[in-house]
Structure 1
Amino acid sequence: MIRVLFSGLRATLARLLATGLAVALSVGFVVATLTLSATFTRTTEESLAASMARADVLVTQTVAEMASSDPRTSTDVLLTLLPAVQAAPGVAAADVERLAYVDLRFGETRSVGQISAVLDESVRWQTLTAGRWPQALTEATLDRATAESVGVAEGDTLTVAAVGSGVSPTAVTVVGITAQQAAGVGAGGPTLLMQGEALTDPDLFSLSTSILVAGGDAGPDAVAASVSAAVAGASGIVVQTRAEAVDDQTAQLSGSATVLTSILLAFAAIALFVAAIVIANTFQVLVSQRTRELALLRCVGAGAGQVRRLILGEALILGLAASALGVGIGVAGAHILAELSRDGASVVHLGRLVIDPVLLAAGFGIGVLLTLASALSPAHRATRVRPVAALRAIAAPVGMRQGLVGAVVALALIGLGGTGLFVGATRSGLTLAVVSGVISFLGILLASALFIPWIVRIVGSTIGWTSVPARLAALNATRNPARTASTAAALLVGVTLVTMMVVGVTSVRTSIGDKIDEKRPVDLTVQSVDPAGITAEQIDGISAMPDVEDATAVTSARVTISPAAGTPVLMQARGIDSARAQQVARSSVVVPEPGQLLLNPADAGALQTGDSVTVAGDVGSAELTVMLEESAARKQATLTHTDLLILVAAPVTGQMQLRLGDGITSGQVQQLSTDILSVSDKFTVGGGAPERTYYEQILDVMLLIVLALLTMAVVIACVGVANTMALSVYERRRESALLRALGLTRGQLRTTLGIEATLITVVAAACGIGLGIVYAGAGLTAVSLQAQKLALTVHLPWTQLAMVLLGALVAGLLATVVPAGGAARRSPVESLTRE
């Protein structure tokens, strides 16, 4: 039987290649996920160990203690404890890590960066790539990434000022460039090292994060015990050896890595599930095609067990070869992703790739077991082939319909899952909705043999009248309902998940954007703290900046508001062009009409909407009607610019409101904000665009990642469609030859096969899109139920859904290129005479 086994493999090698590719891609996904997870954990350990490379003991505050302290008002506990730690027996040196956030200016570029204190040499873990360490209060080192990006070198000067303090900036000379110590999580911004005395400025609100302790001759445990005794009187203090601290922090970060790995493995499971469908479908067809061969084996004495082992042996060899290829693909993919993470732009910089033989063996074993498990049912079917089958011609199978038991189970799962999905979405919450959604979807997959062929038949009947190839394609697509359903099921899984994520993320993105626009309708506001306000030249310059679509100026002045009965109140007044303000805003805003005074109810005192007040400035006064609105600016009165000019001779422009382009990204908003801040040190920038584009960027990246992960399942499903078409063409080669002999041209044969595959893929895609929308809607409703502050509504991205459908159409056509070409090239005479 071994000779028969390898002979059979050689005969069916071409038909098994696509199946092997599906297994290899799935195994590669699993191996890449496990390898990158192990690499991330190792990188984390090395990064944490690097920051404590010269320390034996670490002293920190508990998370609860740090959360409850405010650097602006609380005593710096670690800085206070430093002398006691330094005086503890066995301590050779100790220093406290301190940091503060500052406004930095590099020439015309303005940014926010971090200042850290230069540590004592005994515990200093940073290294220099050029220059020296700072020795004076006005000297600093700068990290290499920032220095290269802004073109700063040794001897250059930059300015430093406390964030939001209004204090004049201090000039600092760069005397050295520091290197990143190890791979790990990127700093995400400019980092300066300065003398510790520079961080004592009360305007900086510096924060101490840890005390690094270097021991003498005593071991780490003895030093930790000594330090613990020295700080015993302080609450919320944690003393750990370097090994304990690294293990503790690695465990915290590895928890996040474990969650990420679990998510990735969930997508890998989807790919494996789709691959299992493809494998099972392939072996079912191969067993059907080899009915006579298997019957002949039974005639010459092979038992049912030998036939079963023959099929499983073929599956085992296929699984071994494909899984080995998959391991190679996974390791190569992980290596490429690790290299890409080191390009400097990535937030996470992975270190040396961790190749764990156990993880590789796990991925290899999963692939082999998956192939064997998927071939069990076809192997069992092969044992039912009787020897008498060798004496008659075998036509292509047309039965293989789902049994009554399967239909009942499918309907039960759909009913149970659908009910749970409804309850979860409307009453219980996300957990029940997710579990019920999975149950109902399994039921739909089981029931696909009932409704997919039926829908294909209906769609086929609508196009069958157009031509002979269309009529033949419609008949062929439904002659084997089970195979049609299993082929479509693999694609149905991928398209449903893709649609669900596209609709879900788009809906969340739009809902969050609408909420932000409602609360902060202006994209960017430019506020000046200069009493002279924003000059006309600055207004023109900002209005002409890239990505600024529209702009309006807001004038301001001090006015006196005198109610009919009551004490006059001095208040800051804003003058706006109501029409222009409405054009600039993202959502409808309440603006005053001429003769109206807009106030926030919290500032109105006893005034009510409709009351008349006298508003006076330095050159005139006017009777205005009060209008109260909750969304109005606090501690300011708003009126039209024309009315303000009646009251004040020369109001200053204290604010600009900007509307940005619709397609602007978070990076472009940040760059525009930096450009505006570079115009004047007196400017501050606010508005809703930074927050909106930030969330949009996160959701867009999330969607891209999810779609990239789901692409594997979709690719495997398309491989399955191509494989099924190739097997069907082989199975119907005599039938195709007869059609050719009766006058069907090669082009018509290709068209028939193309329409057949397109029918199956388009129906599967359309059903997947419908199911994806339903599941996305249920999920959004369930999330809204738990996150009551944000109402999520379904928004259908028609363009993206059309692209999904178009992608299915293209996949169906591509799936027939090779098998259709082979069928068209085959001689009708040769195929008719071959037994």
Structure 2
Amino acid sequence: MFRTALRNVLAHKARLLMTVLAVMLGVAFVSGTLVFTNTISEAYEKSSAKGFDEVDVALTPTWKEDADEPEKLGPAFLDQVERTEGAASAIGSVSGFTALADRDGAPVGDGWQVRGANYWGTDDPRYPMTEGRAPKGDGEVAIDSETAARTGFAVGDTVRMSVDGPVLTPTVTGIFTTDDGNVAAGGSLTLFDTDTAQRIFGKAGTYDEIIVRAEDGVSQTALMAALEAALPKDTVEMTTGKELADEQARLTSSSMDALKQTLLVAAGISLFVGTFLIANTFTMLVAQRTKELALMRAVGASRRQVTRSVLFEAFVVGTVAAVTGLLAGIGIGAGLRSLMGSIGAGFPEGPLVVSPGTVVAALAVGVLITMLAAWLPGRRAAKIPPVAAMNSLHAKATTRSLVLRNTIGSLFTAAGVAVVLFATTMDDAMRAQTPMGLGAALIVIGVFVLTPLLSRPLIAAAAPVLRVFGVSGKLARQNAVRNPRRTAATASALMIGLTLITGMTVAAVSVQTAIGKMASDSLKADYVVSMANGSYLSTDVADKLAGVDGVTASSALRNSYSEIDDRFEYLTGVDGSAFGELADFPVENGALEIGGTRVVVDADIAEEHGWKAGSTFTVTYDDDAKQELTVAGVYQGNEMFRGILLDLATLAPHQTDPVDMQVMVKMSGGASDTAKDSLRKALGDSPAVKVQDKQDISDEIAQMVTLMLNILYGLLAMAVIVAVLGVVNTLAMSVFERSQEIGMLRAIGLDRRGIKRMVRLESLVISLFGAVLGIGLGVFFGWAAGELVGTQMATYELVLPWDRIAVFLLLAAAVGVLAALWPARRAARLNMLEAIKAE
């Protein structure tokens, strides 16, 4: 039986090629994902470990209970650390956000990846100088070698940078190397002398961290024990360099988990789609060999042996596909690393990592998926009575099996719809995600089971269009519904991919529109000024903007903690006299009056505390001072404005170190390029500050959504490619099955062009059938997800992107046309006499 199975594999190489390709693509995606993420993780871990070579013990200040800020680590504390027995040296470290502009004025790196720190003395072992010297004084700075290479800055150049708004223009005195993974990933590190760093980061005379090196022969644990004995209790937290390296490695691995899971989910989808192709292929192969298998049964082969022969074929196919997929995956992993580097998202240097786990996973996935998909066709073939199979009586599914299938499918679909509808009524969006996901899975399974039943009416709906193509169109429609199960399995592969793509597109576009509407409805200001990395603005920024010519109204937004009725609540300080000209949102009762002790609160907080217009409450500020405030109005909060809004003049006296989140500005002539330039120039064209109008805010949101969708489209493209292979495979085998019929059609007058048209139209109908089901399910899932989002976002409403839906349909049609090229050509080239004689 094994020899027979192997001979069958070798005899059907062309037919099994598509199955091998489908499995290979899925395995390549899985192994490529594992190779890429393992390579990056190991590179970061080794880089992190190397970065802690100069650290034996790190000391950070602790927060005492009921304290407003942590303990201070000053020069006296540093001296005490350095005098501790076993300590060879101690370095005080301070750091913070620092935006560096390139030669064109654009920020280098982005967000949290750009920072500045201090260079210790004239020889800091953490940052070896490769060119120039260490910075000294306010006007000097050193930059990392990666940033120098990307920007072209050299020793002696003047650079522009910013910490919290005001622009600095120091001279580059040195270029250094660093093992900081953030720098390798595209960020930047800028070094100042210690006094300058402490001043610009608002930490004069103090350090964020003290790094201690041990004397020769003293272990990290021994040094930490000596420090614990010598230093005051509960003033610092101590961590050994090894613990820091291990924790960094854990965080690196954890941060890669999300990327790995996303990529593996996409690979799983493509494998899931590939399962339909594999099952379809083996079903058709078994059907074509019905008489052969029946003869084997008649000469003594048992059902188990027949099933094993089919599974052995699947094992051979799966093994070949898994091995080639693993090799392709290694190439994909290397390619992804190079691609990320070419677009500026670099990584620490390191070898390509192909772990034993990756090899095992690739082989297991490829072989198991193939054998699992082939098991049902093999089992079905073994159940065919030999006499019935040899007489070709076992051709169609029984009425009982069809009724059972349709009943099961209807129950799954109905249960899934009920669960999804129930989830949309839940107030807690997080809790609703589980039933929503369960309902979606039930619906997909139910529709897949019902697809043979749905194929007849949906494909019949295309009859008027197909009639235009004459006999070829009529034959194409009949061929598409001749074997509903095969058509359903082929269309389902495309359906699943388009369900996910459409659902995510509908949800993402709806959210994007809702946020854009929120910005346009809530903002009357022409511009919003904020830090590029989302951190705090210096209060100087608001003062400078208020003095710009053409500014008619401006207000900073400043957050602060408070305590009300034994609960923590956020306060947002605004300029009460100008706020009405800068923002607009629905007021449920009372009025939008902010000033003195009169405040406005959002509806959720008002409901929690039982407040309404005219209610009073006592607030405890961050400095422990108490004050009675009056609710002037209750408004509908949104993602831009929520919480308790009070006047800055009321809040400011209770803040020791005030900073602003953003500044809203209204210009006399509205938003214009000239107005934006005047605001930017007032801030010295700071690379750390964003000046955005309403369109900029909407574009930024659109850019994020578009980037997310493009990534998802790219990941799901693999599933669509596998679906294309499924259509090609189905048509090729269908042509093989109908060789005699095609020969007869040629003999009675249908020319080669008509044969090609028939196969192409059949492929087109099957592809569009899958697309209609997928888009329909995707729209439903997009609506359901939107119902959950709507509970958190008042401006949310369902938006159907008809242009993109039309593109999806056109792409499905293109898939059908392209997939039919080879099968149609093969069908047209059949020799009619040989085809008629074929059994």
Shorter chain as normaliser: what TM range?
0.7 to 0.9
Aligned counterpart, 1:778: 784
Distance 1:406 1:29 in 2: 33
- In the TM superposition, residue 746 of structure 1 has moved relative to its aligned partner by 0.7
Aligned counterpart, 1:823: 827
Distance 1:66 1:259 in 2: 35
Distance 1:774 1:79 in 2: 64
Q: Specify which of 516, 522, 536 is matched with residue 519 of structure 2.
A: 516
Q: Specify which of 432, 446, 449 is matched with residue 449 of structure 2.
A: 446
Aligned counterpart, 2:653: none
Aligned counterpart, 1:808: 812
Q: Specify which of 741, 746, 757 is matched with residue 735 of structure 1.
A: 741
Q: SS in structure 1 opposite 2:594?
A: helix
Q: 1:683 to 1:344 in 2, by over 3 A?
A: closer
- In the TM superposition, residue 194 of structure 1 has moved relative to its aligned partner by 1.8
Aligned counterpart, 1:11: 11
Q: SS in structure 2 opposite 1:352?
A: coil
Letter of the aligned partner of 1:425 in structure 2? T
- Residues 262-318 of structure 1 deviation map (CA, whole Å, 9 limit, x = unaligned): 333222222221111111111001111111222333344433333222211111100
Aligned counterpart, 2:170: 172
Q: Specify which of 82, 85, 89 is matched with residue 86 of structure 1.
A: 82
Q: Is the 8 A contact 1:521 1:589 kept in 2?
A: no
- In the TM superposition, residue 604 of structure 1 has moved relative to its aligned partner by 10
Aligned counterpart, 1:37: 37
Distance 1:827 1:382 in 2: 31
Distance 2:801 2:455 in 1: 25
Q: SS in structure 1 opposite 2:462?
A: helix
Distance 2:395 2:676 in 1: 63
- Residues 312-347 of structure 1 deviation map (CA, whole Å, 9 limit, x = unaligned): 111110000011111111111111011122236227
Aligned counterpart, 1:794: 798
Q: 1:100 to 1:833 in 2, by over 3 A?
A: closer
Distance 1:682 1:197 in 2: 22
Distance 2:393 2:358 in 1: 46
Letter of the aligned partner of 1:83 in structure 2? D
Q: Is the 8 A contact 2:768 2:812 kept in 1?
A: yes
Aligned counterpart, 1:639: none
The 5 A counterparts of 1:621-660 are: 657-658=670-671
- In the TM superposition, residue 708 of structure 1 has moved relative to its aligned partner by 1.2
The 5 A counterparts of 1:214-613 are: 214-216=213-215, 217-235=217-235, 237-343=236-342, 345-346=344-345, 351-388=350-387, 392=391, 394=392, 397=395, 399=397, 402-427=401-426, 429-460=432-463, 463-464=466-467, 466-520=469-523, 524=527, 553-554=550-551, 601-603=593-595
Distance 2:695 2:65 in 1: 31
Distance 1:67 1:495 in 2: 55
Distance 2:394 2:733 in 1: 11
Q: Is the 8 A contact 1:525 1:655 kept in 2?
A: no
Distance 1:438 1:711 in 2: 21
- In the TM superposition, residue 188 of structure 1 has moved relative to its aligned partner by 5.5
Q: Is the 8 A contact 2:413 2:446 kept in 1?
A: yes
TM-score (norm 1): 0.79
Aligned counterpart, 2:535: none
Distance 1:693 1:505 in 2: 14
Q: SS in structure 2 opposite 1:115?
A: strand
- In the TM superposition, residue 779 of structure 1 has moved relative to its aligned partner by 1.2
Number of aligned residues? 735
Identity %, equivalent residues: 29
Tell me which moved more, 804-813 or 174-183.
Answer: 174-183
> Do residues 99 (structure 1) and 99 (structure 2) align?
no
> Do residues 711 (structure 1) and 713 (structure 2) align?
no
- In the TM superposition, residue 804 of structure 1 has moved relative to its aligned partner by 0.8
Q: 1:480 to 1:78 in 2, by over 3 A?
A: farther
- In the TM superposition, residue 493 of structure 1 has moved relative to its aligned partner by 0.8
- In the TM superposition, residue 523 of structure 1 has moved relative to its aligned partner by 6.0
Q: 1:722 to 1:398 in 2, by over 3 A?
A: farther
Q: SS in structure 2 opposite 1:233?
A: coil
- Residues 782-821 of structure 1 deviation map (CA, whole Å, 9 limit, x = unaligned): 2333xx2555322111111111111110101111111110
Distance 2:58 2:479 in 1: 73
- In the TM superposition, residue 80 of structure 1 has moved relative to its aligned partner by 6.5
Letter of the aligned partner of 1:703 in structure 2? L
Aligned counterpart, 2:611: none
Q: SS in structure 2 opposite 1:809?
A: helix
Distance 1:720 1:531 in 2: 62
Distance 1:775 1:823 in 2: 40
- In the TM superposition, residue 486 of structure 1 has moved relative to its aligned partner by 1.1
- In the TM superposition, residue 372 of structure 1 has moved relative to its aligned partner by 0.8
Q: 1:554 to 1:97 in 2, by over 3 A?
A: closer
Distance 1:813 1:61 in 2: 67
- Residues 609-659 of structure 1 deviation map (CA, whole Å, 9 limit, x = unaligned): xxxxxxxxxxxxxxxxxxx999999899xxxxxxxxxxxxxxxx9777435
- Residues 92-112 of structure 1 deviation map (CA, whole Å, 9 limit, x = unaligned): 111122113457677783759
Aligned counterpart, 1:561: none
Q: 1:710 to 1:81 in 2, by over 3 A?
A: farther
Distance 2:445 2:366 in 1: 22
- Residues 638-684 of structure 1 deviation map (CA, whole Å, 9 limit, x = unaligned): xxxxxxxxxxxxxxx977743589xxxxxxx9999978855699998
- In the TM superposition, residue 253 of structure 1 has moved relative to its aligned partner by 3.5
Q: SS in structure 2 opposite 1:794?
A: coil
CA RMSD of aligned residues (A): 4.1
Letter of the aligned partner of 2:814 in structure 1? V
Letter of the aligned partner of 1:22 in structure 2? A
Larger gyration radius, structure 1 or structure 2? 1
- In the TM superposition, residue 743 of structure 1 has moved relative to its aligned partner by 0.7
Runs of 5+ consecutive residues of structure 1 not aligned to the other structure: 536-552, 558-570, 591-598, 607-627, 637-652, 662-668
Aligned counterpart, 2:23: 23
Letter of the aligned partner of 1:8 in structure 2? N
Distance 1:320 1:681 in 2: 55
Distance 1:21 1:214 in 2: 56
The 5 A counterparts of 1:760-771 are: 760-771=766-777
Q: SS in structure 2 opposite 1:126?
A: coil
Letter of the aligned partner of 2:508 in structure 1? V
- Residues 405-460 of structure 1 deviation map (CA, whole Å, 9 limit, x = unaligned): 33332222222222111111111622221222212222222222221333223333
Distance 2:67 2:447 in 1: 51
Letter of the aligned partner of 1:484 in structure 2? T
- Residues 809-835 of structure 1 deviation map (CA, whole Å, 9 limit, x = unaligned): 010111111111011011111111233
Distance 1:204 1:776 in 2: 47
Letter of the aligned partner of 2:117 in structure 1? S
Aligned counterpart, 1:129: 130
Q: SS in structure 1 opposite 2:353?
A: coil
Q: Is the 8 A contact 2:100 2:687 kept in 1?
A: no
Q: SS in structure 1 opposite 2:301?
A: coil
TM-score (norm 2): 0.78
Q: SS in structure 2 opposite 1:134?
A: coil
Q: 1:481 to 1:87 in 2, by over 3 A?
A: same
Runs of 5+ consecutive residues of structure 2 not aligned to the other structure: 109-113, 530-540, 555-574, 599-632, 636-640, 650-665
Q: SS in structure 2 opposite 1:453?
A: helix
Q: 1:810 to 1:17 in 2, by over 3 A?
A: same
- Residues 572-611 of structure 1 deviation map (CA, whole Å, 9 limit, x = unaligned): 999x9xxxx9xxx9x9999xxxxxxxx97325999xxxxx
Distance 2:770 2:299 in 1: 44
- In the TM superposition, residue 117 of structure 1 has moved relative to its aligned partner by 0.6
The 5 A counterparts of 1:46-85 are: 46-61=46-61, 76-77=72-73, 81-85=77-81
Aligned counterpart, 1:747: 753
Q: Is the 8 A contact 1:184 1:349 kept in 2?
A: no
Q: Is the 8 A contact 1:421 1:436 kept in 2?
A: yes
- In the TM superposition, residue 185 of structure 1 has moved relative to its aligned partner by 6.3
Q: SS in structure 2 opposite 1:287?
A: helix
